[in-house]
Amino acid sequence: MTDLPPPSAGKLRRIAHLDMDAFFASIELLRYPQLKGLPVVIGGGRRKVDEAIRADAERALRFIPVAEFPLLKDYVGRGVITTATYAARQFGVGSAMGMMKAAKLCPQAIVLPVDFDEVRKYSRLFKSTITEIAPQMQDRGVDEVYIDFTDVPGGQRESGRVLARLIQKAIFEATGLTCSIGVAPNRLLAKMASEFNKPNGISIVHEADLQDKVWPLNVRKINGIGPKAGEKLAKLHIHTIGELAAQDAGWLVDNFGKATGAWMHAVAWGRDDSPVVTESEPVSMSRETTFERDLHAVRDKVALGAIFTDLCTRLADDLQRKGYVAKTIGIKLRYDDFRIATRDQTAEFYTSDAKTIRKIAGLCLKRVPLSQRLRLLGVRAATLAKAGDAPVVEPNLLLAHAQRVQIAPEFIANDQLF
Ligand code: DCP
Ligand code: MG
> Which of 89, 105, 95, 87 has the alpha carbon at shortest distance from 35?
87
pLDDT number for residue 2: 43
What is 26-114's CATH number?
3.40.1170.60
Distance 217 CA to ligand 2 centre (A): 19
Is residue 279 part of the annotated active site? The answer reads: no
pTM higher than 0.95:
no
Whose C-alpha lies nearest to ligand 1, atom 6? 82
Strand ranges (DSSP E) for 26-114? Answer: 40-43, 81-84, 110-112
Q: What is the pLDDT of residue 59?
A: 73
Average of pLDDT values for 217-233?
95
Q: Which ligand 1 atom sits closest to the C-alpha of 21?
A: 26
Model pLDDT for residues 149-176, shown as the tens digit of each residue: 999 999 999 999 999 999 999 999 999 9
Q: Does domain 15-20+118-210 have CATH number 3.40.50.11720?
A: no
Q: Per CATH, which fold does 215-268 belong to?
A: DNA polymerase; domain 1 (1.10.150)
In this predicted structure, what is the pLDDT of residue 53?
73
CA distance 324 to 285: 10
Smallest CA separation from ligand 1 atom 9, residue: 82
3-state SS assignment for residue 56: helix
* Identity of the highest mean pLDDT range in 45-49, 287-291, 347-351, 408-412: 287-291
The H-or-E segment that residue 327 falls in is strand 324-335
* Per-residue confidence band for 185, with pLDDT thresholds at 50, 70 and 90: very high
User: Domain residue spans in the chain?
Assistant: 15-20+118-210, 26-114, 215-268, 284-416
Q: Is residue 139 annotated as involved in ligand binding?
A: no
User: Which of 58, 68, 118, 144 does the annotation list as catalytic?
Assistant: 144
Query: Whose CA is closest to atom 21 on ligand 1?
Result: 22
Contact indicator for 179, 194 with CB cutoff of 8 Å:
no
- Looking at the domain 284-416, which fold is it? Dna Ligase; domain 1 (3.30.1490)
Best substitution site from 143, 171, 286 to test ligand 1's pocket, by max atoms within 8 Å of Cβ?
143
As to burial, measured by CB atoms within 10 angstroms (0-12 exposed, 13-18 middle, 19+ buried), residue 132 is exposed
Please name every residue paired with 384 in a beta bridge, in sequence order, or none if there are none. 326
Tell me what pLDDT residue 402 has. Answer: 45
Q: Which residues contact 31 (CB under 8 A, 6 or more apart)?
A: 118
User: What is the rounded distance in angstroms from the CA atom of residue 213 to the CA atom of residue 215?
Assistant: 6
Pocket test for ligand 1, best of 18, 19, 23, 120 (most atoms within 8 A of CB): 23
In this prediction, residues 91-114 reach a mean pLDDT of 95
* 336 assigned binding-site residue: no
